[in-house]
Amino acid sequence: MSGPITHREELRAGERLARDLRHSLALILAGGVGSRLNVLVRQRAKPAVPFGGIYRLIDFTLSNLINSGLERVGILTQYLPYSLTDHIGDGRHWGLVGRTREVRILPPHQGASGSDWYLGTADAIYRNLGYIHRHDPEFVLLLSGDHVYHMDYAPMIDAHVRAGADVTIAVRRVPMEQASDFGTVHVDRDSYIVGFEEKPAVPTSNLISMGIYVFSARVLVERLMRWTSTGAAPDFGHHIFPRMLSGGDRMFAYEWSGYWEDVGTLRAYFDSHMDLVRAEKT
């Protein structure tokens, strides 16, 4: 696009984005054990770990959602969900109640096919396809419930639509020595993903996946039905993304550089609190 955008174009783009947000469904993966947090997670799920005095970790993600204008949220739980369930309540503290808004706890359940505990991130979504189907969204935003960050998801959804992508993954640069903890991506000059490796022993890229994905809902459902339903591909990073890439799906990288911490370890949890009390942190 060239030339300055006119007021008229700006309003029309804004209307399209508002519509895309209305047609989006967010799913938060909140089932992880987070065992590296030791005693902090003996009696609660990692997203329910208290943070910053009055918060719990999942507050960051929920607040990002409502501040981004996303109003339909499912939270997938599995591990010790009680304090999380109590904390979320009916969602009113995040404005997520009303005629078109909701936050719903989605515990594991037994279905017709003898459902079982979730085998991975993709499997967890696969087992809740009924929830997605009920909302019939155009876009599904997949999030983690245990990250400390402040992000507006609306521009990411906007980028996904403009890129004509099947899936868009939020990515950021980290020091190369940390990259092996994450999924790493290679991108072309237009930010389309040309390589994806989950937790490589020897990383060749320091551009890492933040575990925040925007899927076109139709594509998500079709790929999970094709690959995950057989039990062969239970995880996005290990199975779904490599297959999408080799299958020719359009995968877009949305680079984001704000403060973000996956407080997966006691050290990271502690450091994030210190970041809180230090000024001048972005």
| Minimum separation from the CB atom of position 69 to another protein (A) | 5
- Does 10 help bind another protein (rule: CB under 8 A)? yes
| Minimum separation from the CB atom of position 233 to another protein (A) | 30
Integer-rounded Cα Rg, in Å, for the chain is 18
Stretch that binds another protein, among 106-114, 122-130, 158-166, 225-233 (CB under 8 A): 158-166
- Does 278 help bind another protein (rule: CB under 8 A)? no
| Minimum separation from the CB atom of position 62 to another protein (A) | 11
Give the count of alpha carbons within 13 A of 161, CB side only: 19
The CA distance from 76 to 27, in Å, is 7
| Phi, psi dihedrals of residue 260, rounded to the nearest 5° | -155, 130
Question: CB-wise, 109 or 189, nearer to another protein?
Answer: 189
Window 97 to 136, contacts with another protein (CB under 8 A): 97-101
Question: CB-wise, 134 or 162, nearer to another protein?
Answer: 162
Cβ atoms within 10 A of the Cβ of 101, count? 16
| Phi, psi dihedrals of residue 267, rounded to the nearest 5° | -60, -45
The CA distance from 2 to 183, in Å, is 34
- Does 22 help bind another protein (rule: CB under 8 A)? yes
- Does 191 help bind another protein (rule: CB under 8 A)? yes
- Which residues does 278 contact at the CB level (< 8 Å), separation at least 6? none
- Does 15 help bind another protein (rule: CB under 8 A)? yes
The CA distance from 46 to 44, in Å, is 6
Question: CB-wise, 190 or 280, nearer to another protein?
Answer: 190
User: CA triplet 102, 154, 63: central angle to 5 degrees?
Assistant: 50
Question: 3-class DSSP state for residue 236?
Answer: helix
**Identified binder of another protein from the candidate list 36, 40, 50, 69, rule CB under 8 A:** 69
- Does 150 help bind another protein (rule: CB under 8 A)? no
**Identified binder of another protein from the candidate list 3, 7, 246, 274, rule CB under 8 A:** 7
| Phi, psi dihedrals of residue 79, rounded to the nearest 5° | -100, 125
- Does 13 help bind another protein (rule: CB under 8 A)? yes
Residues that bind another protein (CB under 8 A): 5, 7-8, 10-15, 17-18, 21-22, 66, 69, 92, 94-95, 97-101, 154-155, 158-159, 162-163, 190-191
